[in-house]
Amino acid sequence: MTDTSDLPGEATPRVATGVPGLDTLLRGGWLRGGTYIITGLPGTGKTILGNQFCFTTVARGEKAIYLTVLAESHSRMVLHLQDMRFFRGDVIGRTLHYESGYAPLKAEGLAGLSKLIFRSVREHGATALVLDGLAAVEERAESRLAYREFLHGLCVHNALAGCTTLLLTGQRSDPADPQFAMVDGVVQLAMEPLGVKSVRSLEVSKFRGGSQMVGRHSFDITDNGLLIYPRVEALYSGQTDRVPELSQRQSFGIPRLDEMLHGGLVRYSSTLVFGSPGSGKTLMCLHFLAEGARRGEPGLYFGFVESPARILNKAELVSLDLRKHVKAGTLHLESRVAVESLPDALVQELFDLVKKHKIQRLVLDGLEPFIQESTDPHRTPRFLTAMTNELRALGVTTLATQQTNTLFGPELNAPLERVEAIIDNILLLRFVELRSQLYRMLSVLKMRESDNDPALRLFSITAEGIDVAETFESAEAILTGQARPVTPGAAKKPRKKQAGGRKRPPKKKRGSA
């Protein structure tokens, strides 16, 4: 019979990492008493991550040790950390202790360093230890066996002491290195080239004793330290229980467009407003937000080109008074500059705004900025699926704009592919040409789980906003981009059918052959 008397009866408690987003990847944080290797090239953020962990530990009333085996002075390190918001100078020397293991390691080798670590943990009652410079320890080891024995002793001692340990080291090219097998987990930091810029990424390649969110995730270094942004498709991988409410419609406040949609968009659905540059996509979305605000449904505009001030001015030019709704708090305008942005960070910010303001109607003015900074173009379908599913789960009806690569013509090329299969509804706005004059045309290409009017209609932008006209007389315009005039009254009355469903031939005019 197997003796299980010494096995833990409860799950090992978790310890917060102090890094926003990292606890999410680790499903709650480090395991208390665990030993973890943090690996990455210089400049990837290892030192900042280690210090965030230490300052977070002392902030909850515990004690921490940051031990270096490098020649760099602690004063220089503290100088570089002073601008970080997590930094607290008053705890240094009291509950957070910076120590150097360089001299003991040089004089006595790994045995001397082990003695220093064990004594410091015991004397200070530390529950967190960061050892910065594991590569230097390996270089000083008498043999590979001595190095592995050092790691094994460190893991066993600190586990018994309840001291969670981070070992910081440079990037290793061999993932099968025995040192990675001896510790409880491995976190890899990297900087990956993307064109002329570099994108920081983090991956939890090993986490013993608990589940973790696998794969690479982007992160940034700010005044708050490291900020991890879990991949949207990994974070929101489940299917939502909420489905589009077929009996409830959300109108645009544009009478003939609402007629085409049989009352408006289905609540909780997603819609792509797809069209040529300048065709009126943003203005149509503003109509949707204004109508929602009028009905008391909180709305959010989240765009990347025009500032809130320009949006308000644009709305006033077409008699849409958005200012009163902004002042009343039923409409919120947000604009971001799509430069060096991270898609996962943008979406997380978007979700936070939706939750904060209890948004029911959302306009994403430009899908491209969400995707264009992604390191993997194959992420697009998964990314958008996860985003739209989560917005539906939050009770949001979403409009997103995407422009075509052509002004007018028979072909419709989009910068983002395979979006059409993900979105519930598609509204197409485009130009047609007739006798050197451009006209705007609207059609409903797709509506899931809802009937609609598929007719093509001209529309115009007037001082009163968007005005949708009657059905256009020739569908050839949408196919060729060149409308042909027809005889007035022609094609308005369908021919009568003969018995059997066949149409009668047209009557011959007198004098015709």
pLDDT tens profile 240-299: 888 888 889 999 999 999 999 999 999 999 999 998 888 999 999 999 999 999 999 999
| C-beta of residue 354 within 8 angstroms of C-beta of residue 347 | no
**pTM score, two decimals?**
0.83
Q: What does the alpha-carbon distance between residue 63 and residue 424 come to, in Å, rounded to a whole number? A: 53
Using alpha carbons only, what angle is made at residue 317 by residues 313 and 321, rounded to the nearest 5 degrees?
A: 70
State mean pLDDT over 290-319.
95
> Assign residue 199 a region: left if phi > 0, alpha if psi is -120 to 50, beta otherwise?
beta
Phi/psi of residue 393, each to 5°?
-65, -30
> Partners of 301 in the beta sheet?
333, 363
pLDDT the model gives residue 109:
93
CA atoms 466, 468, 474, 475: torsion sign: positive
Q: What does the alpha-carbon distance between residue 112 and residue 125 come to, in Å, rounded to a whole number? A: 20
Distance of CA 291 to the CA centre of its chain: 28
pLDDT the model gives residue 4:
43
pLDDT at 5 over 70: no
pLDDT at 366 over 50: yes
Full DSSP string of 99-127 = EE-HHHHHHHHHHHHHHHHHHHHHHHT-S
Q: How do residues 484-493 score in pLDDT, each as one tens digit? A: 554 444 444 4
Confidence band (pLDDT; 50, 70, 90) for 466? very high
3-state secondary structure of 312: helix
Phi/psi of residue 190, each to 5°?
-150, 160
State mean pLDDT over 221-241.
91
Counting residues of the chain whose pLDDT is more than 70, the rounded percentage is 84
State mean pLDDT over 16-42.
95
CA atoms 24, 27, 28, 33: torsion sign: negative
Counting residues of the chain whose pLDDT is more than 90, the rounded percentage is 61
DSSP 89: G
